[in-house]
Amino acid sequence: MPATTTQLVHLAHDRNPGMALDLDWVAGVQANTSAIERRAAMLGGRRSVKKDHQAAWLLKAVSLIDLTTLSGDDTPGRVQRLCAKARQPVRAETLHALGMDGLTVGAVCVYHDMVETAVRALEGTAIPVAAVSTGFPAGLSPWHLRVQEIRESVAAGAAEIDIVISRRHVLTQNWQALYDEMREMRAACGDAHVKAILATGELGTLRNVARASLICMMAGADFIKTSTGKEGVNATLPVSLTMIRAIRDYQSRTGIKVGYKPAGGISKAKDALLYLALMKDELGHPWLQPDLFRFGASSLLGDIERQLDHHLTGHYSAANRHAMG
């Protein structure tokens, strides 16, 4: 298949070039689990938006979704329908009633085999295609194949690559191996942005999550991401708080902004609002834009549409009015 022109991602900040591995910094990273869990549990009670403000936040959430299909039975037709939904994620009449137009999602995320299909379906838009790579979701295929998969997805037109780290490096505290792996994958991405998936549900402790987050940023990750969506435990608020505080620490020390992507299990509009509030509280307004924050989700969009309909009509619409394709 011929290579396709990559839709580059527009950034309002410099990419993360990475830095030399600083093991003293890594060793000093701790995570107070009880305090993190307590802070996360308080979030829902302290942050509540209603009516027009809630509708505005939900429209913001739509613009941050990586609309995703990662199924073994994906077909070109399914991906084309998903891309049509990415172009028009909310019904035109709903947007008109809310005084908004031109809304799209943040990206479309697919397996490598569907990258060219998605790129063609999104021609004429600024919506990037993200490809999951490196032996997703387990990340256990031979190393040279993992790196080659990145290169082939970039050549096919993927503007973003969601890679999976080797969890064993974290569990055995082999930080040099994790750094070297991430650094080589970052190099293979070239101009495509790399999102490092930590698979946090398999890392054991929040301290491991914090240290793995820091290592991946040192190695040049443009985003750090919670999960593949295939683990038993995916995105949670305590894990998110741990990761975004690592982002804040990295930005404070280096001046470089790194993005964050919670993925897996975020299916309700109310959950999206909690994550948006957390990002605003911990990192501020710059992290409420698609170049620094994404939701890895698909069913989330349908629930947001239903909530917007309820805002306008006082009634919840049937789920089949908001199909993904």
pLDDT (0 to 100) of residue 4: 47
Please provide the distance, in angstroms rounded to a whole number, between the alpha carbons at the two ends of the chain. 26
What is the third-level CATH fold of 31-318? TIM Barrel (3.20.20)
Q: What is the edge-to-edge ordering of all strands in the sheet holding 65-68?
A: 259-261, 223-225, 193-197, 160-164, 129-132, 107-110, 65-68, 295-297
What is the residue-wise DSSP string for 163-222?
EE--HHHHHTT-HHHHHHHHHHHHHHHTTSEEEEE--GGGS-SHHHHHHHHHHHHHTT-S
pLDDT (0 to 100) of residue 51: 86
- pLDDT band with cut points at 50, 70 and 90 for residue 2: very low
Average pLDDT, the chain: 93
Between residues 94 and 13, which one has the greater pLDDT?
Answer: 94
Q: Measure the CA–CA gap between 189 and 194, rounded to whole angstroms.
A: 7
Task: Give me 221's structure tokens.
Answer: 């990750």
pLDDT (0 to 100) of residue 1: 37
Give the phi and the psi of residue 219 in degrees, each rounded to 5.
-85, 0
Has residue 8 got a pLDDT over 70?
Answer: no
Task: Give me 164's structure tokens.
Answer: 């999976």
pLDDT (0 to 100) of residue 86: 97
Measured at the alpha carbon of residue 262, what is the angle toward residues 310 and 196, in degrees to the nearest 5?
150
The verdict on whether 52 is a catalytic residue reads no
Q: Looking at residue 263, what DSSP letter applies?
A: B
pLDDT (0 to 100) of residue 42: 87
Q: Looking at residue 292, what DSSP letter applies?
A: T
Residues 18-72 pLDDT 10s? 999 999 999 999 999 999 999 998 886 655 677 889 999 999 999 999 999 999 9
The CB-side HSE value for 239 (13 A sphere, CA atoms) comes to 26
Q: Measure the CA–CA gap between 152 and 60, rounded to whole angstroms.
A: 32
Has residue 276 got a pLDDT over 80?
Answer: yes
Which one from 162, 222, 291, 309 is the annotated catalytic residue?
A: 162
Task: Give me 136's structure tokens.
Answer: 């997703």
Which one from 66, 257, 261, 271 is the annotated catalytic residue?
A: 261
Strands 193-197 and 223-225: parallel
Where are the chain's structural domains?
Answer: 31-318
**How many other CB atoms are there within 10 angstroms of residue 76's CB atom?**
14
C-beta separation of 213 from 178 below 8 A? no
Residues 232-267 pLDDT 10s? 899 999 999 999 999 999 999 999 999 999 999 899
The verdict on whether 162 is a catalytic residue reads yes
Give the phi and the psi of residue 36 in degrees, each rounded to 5.
-65, -45
**To 10 degrees, what angle do helices 143-155 and 175-189 make?**
30
Which one from 85, 195, 225, 257 is the annotated catalytic residue?
A: 225
Residues composing the chain: 325
Measured at the alpha carbon of residue 16, what is the angle toward residues 11 and 17, in degrees to the nearest 5?
130
